[in-house]
Structures are given as structure tokens and as C-alpha cells.
Structure 1
Amino acid sequence: MYRILLVEDDQSLAELLSGHLQKYDYECKVCSDFNDISGEVEQFDPHLILLDINLPKYDGFYWCRKIRQFSICPIIIISARSSEVEQIYGIENGADDYITKPFSLEVVVAKVNGQIRRTYGDYAANPSERTVVRGELKLYLESLILEYQEQQVSLTKKEAMLASMLLENAPKVQSRETLLSKLWDDESFVEENTLNVNIARLRKKLKDVGADAGIEAVRGVGYRLIEEPI
């Protein structure tokens, strides 16, 4: 089931959209913390975001740019701002589509379906893009998609980089220092728990696709991919 995050401070409209999308078998969550929308995105890990522009504190353009720093999931802006300039500005700030209010619920569903098909459907991954394959696990490096037996899950850029290193070097252990130096330009400024958090998220993604592989922590050394779930 695909997950959709609704970032809309008009509660009645958010609930209307959520209820309608759920009829089409989408799992929906309405954003509740408009001071940390990036945090909600990271926690819920949506397949698609419906984003309003007029939001408390920072507008949707700001949050679109912030989200694009760690995620490439489709973002559809829904806004009463209907000028051509603002629609262009939305796309240039990382949005994939722009719907002006008032709108038809069926138009929203059609656009959501289209983005989901293009991003996660049968033709989502470009055949020419770089891939890393180990057994039935397949990582699409440009699309940031992990696939196992036709089940797919989207990854953040950091998760994809971690997955690539572990898949390419399995079953060898990758030291924490090696992983940190590859993922961050200056590991001295990375909190000790940051790598642990990203490893935990990648473990969850492997479980989400039902992969017969897991990430093993080797005490005092680092991590490696093993061919059994953990």
C-alpha cells in the first residue's frame, strides 16, 4: 500500500482529501507538526507528498527545497496561488506537479495515480540506469528504489548509498569509518548515532520488501550484509 503525506493546514480539506484517497487504497497521514515537516517526512517515509503553499511559519516552497535535500519522492503542490509565475516557482523548487484550488477530487486522484505509476510502477526504473544486484535484491541507484521479487520500496539518498556499499561488498564487513567517510564529507562532524539511525531505516526497508537478507552489526568494527533476515 502506497503512503501519502498531506501537508495542509486546513484540517477539513486535509481530512476530505485523506478520506477520498483512502477509497483508492492509499495509506494517508495528515501532517500535524508544521514546524518540522522534514521530520514528519522522514518518520512516515511517504511514497508521495501533497503539499500546500500557505503554511504556518515557512511556506511550501521552503519545505519543498528542504525535502529535496534527502528525498526524491513525488511532491504535488496543491495551492490557491494560481499564477503562472508561482506554478513555475513550485516546479523549480522541486515539485513534480501543481494543482490549483479549487480542484476536483478526481483530478487529484488521477495526478496521484500518474506520479505513483511513473515513480514506482512497471516502467519506473530506467533500464539504462545504474543498478546493484545481489541475488534477488536489486538496487536502482538513480531512482533510489530497492526491489526484491517485484516488491519495491523507495530509499533516501543516504539509505541508497549505504545499500550500495553493503550489497557490492557483501559478505565483507564495512567499517564504521569507511561508511561515514563515503556518506559524509567530514565524518568528524557527524553524531555517533547518525549512522545507526540510517542502518536501522535500511533494515526496515529490507523487511518491507520481504528480502531474505539483513544487516549484521559486527561489534567494534562495522556492518555487513548477510543472506538472512535480522
Structure 2
Amino acid sequence: MQSILLIEDDAKLAGLLAAYLVRNGFQVQIVTDFRHVLDEFVQIGPDLVLMDVNLPQFDGYYWCRQIRSHSICPILFISARDSGMDQVMALEHGADDYITKPFQYEVVLAKVRSHLRRAYGMYAAVQPEMKVKNGSLLLYPERYVLEYGGRSVELTQKESVLVEALMAKTGRVVSRERLLELMWEDQHFIDDNTLNVYITRVRRKLKDLGAEEILETVRGAGYRLLDLESASQGDRQ
């Protein structure tokens, strides 16, 4: 049974949502001490986090950053703030999705199941580890790890989907529309800046690996990852 940590200061809403998730087969722990959210997260080790933005002491963005320093588990925001900038901020701070209030419980359940399925998968433990390769750039999509030049960085789930989509079409342009389609099931609710946020985050991590130049923006078309295999063969000739 997979576990969810629910960080919501509206006790009534938290109770109703937790009861609904429990009825649908999840273990749910509700945070009540908003001074020690990270401590509870570390102690419980949940598979997924549902978190409000407006919280006592520190806001959800702060706690999202703290959790990200310990884990790459899916983090879904649930918030009454419905502006595009709030969604962008949530993603910038490491969240994987953003659900606006008021919401239908069925939508929350569907998103929870979707993110858990993508993050862990039913057969992840018995399948050989997947590896996507572009020259010496290696992506391990099941662990959300990107390696290059002897260094490695951790990715969020959606960052991993983005990098994998670009690597699958190495040397070719991948349109913004296609990337949005792969990263989100329902594009209708995704702000146009959201993809920009993820591209910026991926560039930052490529820079940490010393490979920021391999991701190119093709104006009016989309994005392209350079073919490192062809480049290295050219160098040897």
C-alpha cells in the first residue's frame, strides 16, 4: 500500500481528502505540526506528497525545497491560488504538479495515481534498469539520474520525462506541443510559461554537468539536443 503525506492546514478539507484517498487504497498521514514538516517527511518516508501553498510558519514553496533536498518523490500542490505565476513558482521550487481549489476528489485521485505510476511503476523492481544514451550522456529514467563526464545530477520526474523526450529525438527538433503532451496529460490547464520553467531547470542541471551547450532552442519550432555520438565520431576522424 502506497503512502501519501498530506500537508494542509484546513483540518476539515484534510480530513475529507484523506478519507477519500484511504477508501481508494492509500495510507495517508496528515501533518498537524507545521513547524516540523520536514521532520515528519523524513520519519514517514511517503511515496507522494500533497501540499497546500498557504501554510502556517513557512509556505509550501519553502517546504517543497526542503523536501527536494532529501527526496525526488512526487510533490503535488493543492491550492486556492490559481494564477499562472503561482503555478510557475511551484514548479520552480521542485513540484511535479499543481491542482487548484476547489477540486474534484476524482481529479486528485487520478493525478496521484498517474504520478505514482510514472515515478515507481508496478514492475520497476523486477525489470532491468532502463538507460537512455546519447554519446556519454546517460539518463536513468527510473532513478531520475542524468550522468555526463563522470558527474551526475538528480532530476525531478517531469525533468526526467523532458530529457528523455529530447534524447529520444537526439539531433532533431522536438516541438513545444509534443513536449507538453508528453509531460502533462491535460495541457488545457498548463500555463505557457510552465515548459519554459522546466527547460530552464534542465539547462541549469546540464550546466552542473558541464554540458549546458548541448540543449538548443530552435525559435518558432521547439528544442533540440545535440547528437554527441556523431560529434565524438567527427572528432576522431
TM-score normalised by L of structure 2: 0.54
Q: Structure 1 residue 24: deviation in Å?
A: 1.1
Q: Which residue of 2 aligns with 1:128?
A: 131
Matching of residue 37 in structure 1 with residue 12 in structure 2: no
- Shift of residue 122, structure 1, vs aligned partner: 4.0
Q: Residue 128 and residue 144 in structure 1: after superposition, are their counterparts in 2 closer, same or farther (change >3 A)?
A: closer
Give 1:72's aligned residue. 72
Cα distance in 2, alignment partners of residues 123 and 82 from structure 1? 36
What is the identity percentage for the equivalent residue pairs of Structure 1 and Structure 2?
48
> Would you identify which runs of 4 or more consecutive aligned residues in structure 1 move more than 3 Å?
122-126, 141-145
Q: Following the alignment from structure 1 to structure 2, what is the Cα–Cα distance between the partners of residues 107 and 56?
A: 26
The alpha-carbon deviation at position 92 of structure 1 amounts to: 1.0
Say which structure, 1 or 2, has more relative contact order (CA 8 Å, 6+ apart). 2
Residues 112 and 100 of structure 1: CA distance in aligned 2, closer, same or farther (over 3 Å): same
Once the two structures are superposed, residues 45-89 of structure 1 have per-residue CA deviations (whole angstroms, 9 ceiling, x without a partner) of 100000000000100000001100011110000000100011011
Name the CA distance, whole Å, in 2 between partners of 1:107 and 1:142. 26
Q: Please give the alpha-carbon distance, in whole angstroms, between the structure 1 residues aligned to 2:95 and 2:121.
A: 19
Cα pair 1:6 1:31 within 8 Å, conserved: yes
Summarize deviations over 1:175-216 as a string: whole Å, max 9, x none: xxxxxxxxxxxxxxxxxxxxxxxxxxxxxxxxxxxxxxxxxx
- The Cα of 1:123 is off from its aligned counterpart by 7.2
Partner of 1:225 in structure 2? none
Q: Quick one: structure 1 residues 25 and 65, their matched pair in 2 at CA, closer, same or farther if it must change by over 3 Å?
A: same
Q: Which runs of 5+ in 2 are unaligned?
A: 134-139, 145-153, 155-237
Residue in 1 that maps onto 2:103: 103
Post-superposition offset of 1:23:
1.1
Alpha-carbon distance, 1:143 to partner = 4.3
Structure 1 residues 129 and 27: alpha-carbon distance in aligned structure 2, compared to 1, 3 A threshold: farther
Give the count of matched residue pairs: 137
What corresponds to 2:48 in structure 1? 48
Name the CA distance, whole Å, in 2 between partners of 1:105 and 1:116.
Answer: 16
CA RMSD of aligned residues (A): 2.4
Q: Contact 1:3–1:26 (CA<8 Å) still a contact in 2?
A: yes
Cα distance in structure 2, aligned partners of 1:120 and 1:32: 27
Q: Report the AA paired with residue 11 of structure 1.
A: A
Say if 1:117 and 1:123, in contact at 8 Å, map to a contact too. Answer: no
